[in-house]
Amino acid sequence: MDTKKSFDMTRRQFVMSSAALLTAGALTHDAVASQGAAAARGPFRVIIDTDPGVDDALALLLAMRSPELKIEAITPVAGNVPLELTLPNALRLVEIAGRTDIPVAAGARAPLLRRLVTATYAHGENGLGGAVFPEPTTKPVSESASEYIRHIVRKYPHEVTLITLGPLTNIATALNSDPELAGMVRGLTMMGGSLSGGNITPAAEFNIYVDPEAARIVFQSGIPITMVGLDVTRKTSLTEEHVRVLEAAQNPASQAAAKIGRNAINHNRDRGFLVGPNMHDSLAVAAFLDPTILKWQDYYVDVEVAGELTAGETLGYSPVAGDLKRRPGMEKDLAASMTIRGSAPTLASTKTSPVVREKYVPNTKVGIDVDSSRFFELLIGRLAGK
């Protein structure tokens, strides 16, 4: 597939999209809230797209020990480490959790248009903080991740939520190959992005930075999005006490999580950090299981793809945030008149500033605060078997 052509088409379709589509996107945000509130009942069909990864590993173990979730597939992607490691890491984790019933489908080896940037400096050369486990004996399914995502979503239209813990290459590839797919996805809960600065550049969070073109396709797709970004995940540091609780529990998942967690804490200490690793991806899973752990605010979110220094930055537009705040009762009027613009024209251009959106319509619920204690009660409690 010509990914560059597909991306260009998506942008063009987005800019020219109708007001009816925007209105539909706004209405579906009520479904996001009800989806989260209902997650305590379950089970809910999910596909977990991931790049294990230390925090991905604990997130996957949490998901596989959560009866609210009917995990239809795990789809590894290149990100924290190359696919040659994220794929066997995912297979190891389903074996450790005793969940080899969950299909694992190999995903993209590289971003849509860019060379792969990894985070071995944070996750170790093997992606699991240096924690060593036996080679997996389970095999992936024959279909690629993007094909398998399409297959499952079409099999269960409007029932499947995508939980994404890595770069969004697999999801964008599936959407590019099937124009009707976005309308069949129930929702997407992502670990990614930030409205308060990045962790790989001052502007960009890692997952979005690795494949900003893919992220832009997803944000512009019309899928109801719940974004769990650095604004909240930076408040979820794993501690020695957490690891000791996991070590004391006698089950394979807790023992594996403790091993990975202790290695990650030691790795952070060796690098001079004062706190343990943040549980970015586990918080995204927890946010789906219990959205009341976080505080949410509606934004229109877009992704910078052209910036030399800012590629991968997620920009959040809101009539009730920053300098745009108004007294109560005026937000609706401001939203109706709020135009979302691109960059100012250069001297060499005769064009005016491009209008990205004629009218403000939120496309994303963004986590803006978190109850860290409740989050760790859920994470450590589930892994420890309490």
In the block, residue with structure tokens 């080896």? 109
Q: What is the pTM of this model?
A: 0.87
* Among the listed residues 212, 207, 213, 217, the one whose alpha carbon sits nearest the alpha carbon of residue 185: 217
Mean pLDDT over 134-160 rounds to 98
Residue 353: pLDDT band (50, 70, 90) is: low
In a domain, 57, yes or no: yes
In a domain, 345, yes or no: no
Q: Domains in the chain: how many in total?
A: 1
pLDDT digits (tens, 9 = 90+) for 286-297: 999 999 999 999
In a domain, 351, yes or no: no
Question: 148 lies in a domain?
Answer: yes
Output the CA torsion sign for 286, 195, 13, 335.
positive
| In 57-165, beta strands by DSSP E | 69-76, 160-164
Per-residue pLDDT tens over the stretch 295-324: 999 999 999 999 999 999 999 998 877 666
pLDDT of residue 17: 39
- Indicate if the pLDDT at residue 198 is higher than 90: yes
Does residue 156 belong to any structural domain of this protein? yes
- The pLDDT assigned to 386 comes to 67
> Looking at residue 223, what DSSP letter applies?
-
Q: Residue 139 above 50 pLDDT?
A: yes
Residue pair 317/298 in contact (Cβ under 8 Å)? The answer is no
Question: Is there a contact between 281 and 59 (Cβ–Cβ < 8 Å)?
Answer: yes
Point out the catalytic residue in the list 29, 242, 267, 280. Answer: 280
User: What single string gives the DSSP state of each residue in 235-266?
Assistant: T-B--HHHHHHHHHS-SHHHHHHHHHHHHHHH
Bond into 136 cis (ω within 30): no
Q: Which DSSP string do the residues of 266-281 spell out, in sequence order?
A: HHHHHTT-SS--B-HH
pLDDT at position 89 is: 97
pLDDT band at 327 (very low <50, low <70, confident <90, very high): low
Mean pLDDT of 323-344: 71
pLDDT of residue 238: 96
Residue with token string 């937000």? 331
Residues forming a β-bridge with 188: 162, 225
Query: What is the mean pLDDT of the segment spanning 353-361?
Result: 78
Q: What is the structure's pLDDT at 350?
A: 62
pLDDT digits over 87-119, tens only?
999 999 999 999 999 999 999 999 999 999 998
Please check whether residue 340 lies inside any domain of the structure.
no
Quote the CA–CA distance of 315 and 287 in Å, as a whole number. Answer: 21
The contacts of residue 361 (CB under 8 Å, 6+ apart) are: 22, 23, 25, 26, 300
Task: Report the SS3 class of residue 317.
Answer: strand
Domain that holds residue 189: 3-318+362-384
- pLDDT tens profile 212-255: 999 999 999 999 999 999 999 999 999 999 999 999 998 999 99
Q: Is residue 83 part of a domain?
A: yes
Per-residue pLDDT at 182: 98
Exposed, middle or buried: residue 17 (CB in 10 Å: 0-12, 13-18, 19+)? middle
Question: Is position 280 annotated as part of the catalytic site?
Answer: yes
CATH of the domain at 268: 3.90.245.10
274: confidence class by pLDDT, cuts 50, 70, 90? confident
Confidence of residue 341 (pLDDT cuts 50, 70, 90): confident
Report the 3 state secondary structure along 3-30: HHHHHHHHHHHHHCCCHHHHHHHHHHHH
What is the C-alpha separation between 115 and 129, in angstroms, rounded? 23
